[in-house]
Amino acid sequence: ILNVEQSPQSLHVQEGDSTNFTCSFPSSNFYALHWYRWETAKSPEALFVMTLNGDEKKKGRISATLNTKEGYSYLYIKGSQPEDSATYLCAFIAGGYQKVTFGTGTKLQVIP
Amino acid sequence: EAGVVQSPRYKIIEKKQPVAFWCNPISGHNTLYWYLQNLGQGPELLIRYENEEAVDDSQLPKDRFSAERLKGVDSTLKIQPAELGDSAVYLCASSSGPGTGNTGELFFGEGSRLTVL
């Protein structure tokens, strides 16, 4: 079983604050790293698909970085808004059989 | 384009009863996953199909859980008999991987929430 960890487990921030959280994964046999956003009562949706060491992706106020050599990825949210409240999941995809292993998620609550 | 469809959305049963969940993946997606999601935890893989073949079912509790994907399209996950600890959300996802240049992005259904009393 692959070890994929996310921290913090939960986070409360004020509207307008910037925040970031971490996903740690094995530094060997890397194929891809995904970030998903899971809003309550909805399906998880992909935010970013990252494949190369040093990748930086951005979508509006949300961005992510990837370090495959040391096995971590950061997700940043600039100027948090209430609609950013969700659980953010990372998923590590190993090479070969492309096993997809999810972290436990970071639950973000943005307080208006 | 239609997304991944799951049914039922909610199911309440008494322990020792059977239950079945159905998933219709996105058209053309060869890979189908069933995940279990307990409160406060990330999704845990139960089984992964490539077309009609189960290529990873190492985490599926085979004494009570079974799954099938006839014809490599729709899939059914069954629990018989259900136990109290099976209360969770069962997520189905599909992707077009694996393959050259494919990063395996997963598309999820809305999940089936099971409550076992």
> Burial, A67: exposed, middle or buried (Cβ in 10 Å; 0-12, 13-18, 19+)?
middle
Task: Tell me which chain A residues have a C-beta less than 8 angstroms from the C-beta of B108.
Answer: 43-45
Q: How many residues does chain B have?
A: 117
> Burial, A66: exposed, middle or buried (Cβ in 10 Å; 0-12, 13-18, 19+)?
buried
For testing contact with chain A, the best of B103, B112, B113 (most A CBs within 10 A) = B103
Contact A46 B43 (CB under 8 A): no
Return the residue of A nearest to B57 by Cα: A99
Angstrom distance (rounded) from CA B22 to CA A67: 38
Percent of chain A with pLDDT over 90: 77
The model's pLDDT over B8-48, given as tens digits with 9 standing for 90+, comes to 999 999 999 999 999 999 998 989 999 999 988 889 999 99
- Cβ neighbour number for residue A39 with a 10 Å cutoff: 13
The model's pLDDT over A49-104, given as tens digits with 9 standing for 90+, comes to 998 888 999 999 999 999 999 999 999 999 999 999 999 999 999 887 667 899 99
Contact B103 A89 (CB under 8 A): no
What does the block give as tokens for B15? 């322990």
Angstrom distance (rounded) from CA A89 to CA A44: 8
Contact A97 B55 (CB under 8 A): yes
